[in-house]
Amino acid sequence: MRSSSYTTICIAAMVLVIMILGTQPQVATAVTCQVTQLAPCAAAISSSSVPPSRQCCVKIKEQRPCLCQYMKNPSLKAYVSSPNAKKIAKSCGVPTPKC
């Protein structure tokens, strides 16, 4: 009788572990660095009076690993490192990268 209770407890514990592991987020896929993904931020980058949209913040967070690459590109540097871009990043909770 005692081993039956022990077995039941072990099975319940294993089921609980499986349920917990099954609810963990999946490993993120690699980000494709495409500056066009930041298009939802165009209005906020162009005008300091336009706050970033929710979609802009989502894209900034997704493209965060790419920001240094964009900053090193002479064609993009002026936009990505502009005061408005820094305000957007701060507003969206994305720290300015140190490249």
At residue 99, the 3 state secondary structure works out as coil
How far is it, in rounded angstroms, from Cα 89 to Cα 67? 11
How far is it, in rounded angstroms, from Cα 23 to Cα 60? 26
Residue 81 has pLDDT above 80, yes or no: yes
| pLDDT attached to residue 16 | 33
| pLDDT attached to residue 23 | 43
Please report, as a single letter, which amino acid is at residue 38: L
Q: Which CATH architecture has domain 35-91?
A: Orthogonal Bundle (1.10)
Task: Name the percent of the chain lying above pLDDT 90.
Answer: 56
